[in-house]
Amino acid sequence: MSEEFASSSAASDLGSFCGIGVGPGMPGLIPVAAWQFVQDADIILLPRAKSAKRSIARNCLPAHQIPEDRFRDFEFAMGSDRTLLAEHYSRQADEIGQNVCAGKRVAYLTIGDPLTYSTYIYILRALQERFPEIPCRTYPGVTSYSALAAATGFALGEGKERVLISPCPDARLELRRLIEAHDVVVLLKIGERLPMVLRLLSEMEIDDHCVFGAQVGMENEILRFGTSEMNAADASGYLSTMLIRRKPIESRHMVTATADIQEIGELELT
Ligand SMILES: C[S@@+](CC[C@H](N)C(=O)[O-])C[C@H]1O[C@@H](n2cnc3c(N)ncnc32)[C@H](O)[C@@H]1O
């Protein structure tokens, strides 16, 4: 914990709250500073969907290093009713706030980066609204798409390329427009839209330039280099991400070689 963060809480006997990105799959992907906070934390909150048996974030921590009694499952809300969601996050923020006011150090673990499409964003907002005096810090994490790029050697952006990060649209036409307007599209939250995405990439004849990853870094990881041979039924699911490149990568070696030839040609002409 930084001195500034520690002293702001020590001065008032407040504890502190920290959002921490882990994984997204491989155990041990966590910044050193964030890991120190987790080791010192009194309460480690593990957000978990109602349907999930165990928190994915928990599996991303180094094993057997933290006493069991510090972990607490924290069910996150699904659904589209904004009033119900707001009530849910307010209740959770109150629980966290009361613990921090009682001097506890509370860590909230998320998969990947906490401020990238994460329920942590709503919790943090509710907490800051209801307990403005509480010291909050967010440690960034490795996003799912960075992990997929690293696993497949896919360059997310070179030179002046424009990169878009987007949840997968429902409509094929909308996705097509996004791809046409960018050099690289990072597609999250694909789920059951995968067959539509695969059809579109094939129709645009760009399926060779794309990579797909599901459960990246986990035991059941699926990686595909090029998507033309993919079977949607084998690879759909909640944790899937795609990196779409509109054009094939130009080889730098080829570009340099062509430039050299032109220079030589011009020299010979003069
Ligand atoms: C709620 S968002 C969370 C994003 C996360 N905070 C991040 O930094 O990437 C869930 C989406 O992240 C992506 N995702 C998360 N973990 C993943 C993994 N291990 N492999 C592939 N995609 C993953 C999927 O697109 C999934 O639909």
- Using one digit for the tens of pLDDT, what is the confidence trace for 50-65? 777 778 888 899 888 8
pLDDT at 62: 85
Whether residue 138 has its Cβ less than 6 Å from ligand 1 = no
pLDDT at 83 over 90: no
Whether residue 59 has its Cβ less than 6 Å from ligand 1 = no
178 in any annotated domain: yes
Alpha carbon nearest to ligand 1 atom 10, residue:
189
Q: What is the mean pLDDT of the chain?
A: 87
- Alpha carbon distance 95, 219 (integer Å): 34
- pLDDT over 70, % of the chain: 87
**Same domain flag for 45 and 120:** yes
Give the tens place of pLDDT for each residue, 5-59.
655 555 568 999 999 999 998 888 999 999 999 999 999 999 887 777 778 888 8
24 in any annotated domain: yes
101 in any annotated domain: yes
**Same domain flag for 130 and 149:** no
pTM equals 0.88
Q: Name which of 52-56, 146-150, 174-178, 227-231 the model is least confident about.
A: 52-56
Whether residue 19 has its Cβ less than 6 Å from ligand 1 = no
**Same domain flag for 137 and 193:** no
Could you tell me which residue, 259 or 169, shows the higher pLDDT?
169
**Same domain flag for 100 and 24:** yes
In terms of DSSP bridges, do strands 184-188 and 240-245 run parallel, antiparallel, or are they unpaired? antiparallel
Could you tell me which residue, 255 or 179, shows the higher pLDDT?
179
E-state strands within 5-150: 16-22, 43-48, 71-75, 105-111, 136-139
**Same domain flag for 162 and 228:** yes
Map residue 154 onto helix, strand or coil. coil
Query: pLDDT band at residue 269, thresholds of 50, 70 and 90?
Result: very low
Task: For residue 39, give the nearest of 136, 109, 101, 100 by alpha carbon.
Answer: 109
Give the residue carrying structure tokens 């506890």: 104
Query: pLDDT band at residue 249, thresholds of 50, 70 and 90?
Result: confident
Q: Which CATH number is 199's domain given?
A: 3.30.950.10
- Alpha carbon distance 34, 57 (integer Å): 14
Last residue of a domain, one of 82, 111, 142: 142
pLDDT at 251: 59
Q: Which of 55, 216, 241, 243 most suits a substitution to test ligand 1, by most atoms within 8 Å of the C-beta?
A: 241
Q: What H or E segment, with its residue span, contains residue 164?
A: strand 163-167
Give the tens place of pLDDT for each residue, 87-128.
989 999 999 999 999 999 999 999 999 999 999 999 999 999
Structural domain that includes position 207:
145-249
Whether residue 47 has its Cβ less than 6 Å from ligand 1 = no
Q: Which of 144, 189, 215, 243 most suits a substitution to test ligand 1, by most atoms within 8 Å of the C-beta?
A: 144
Count how many domains the chain has. Answer: 2
**Same domain flag for 124 and 156:** no
244 in any annotated domain: yes
What does the pLDDT average to over 230-250?
Answer: 84
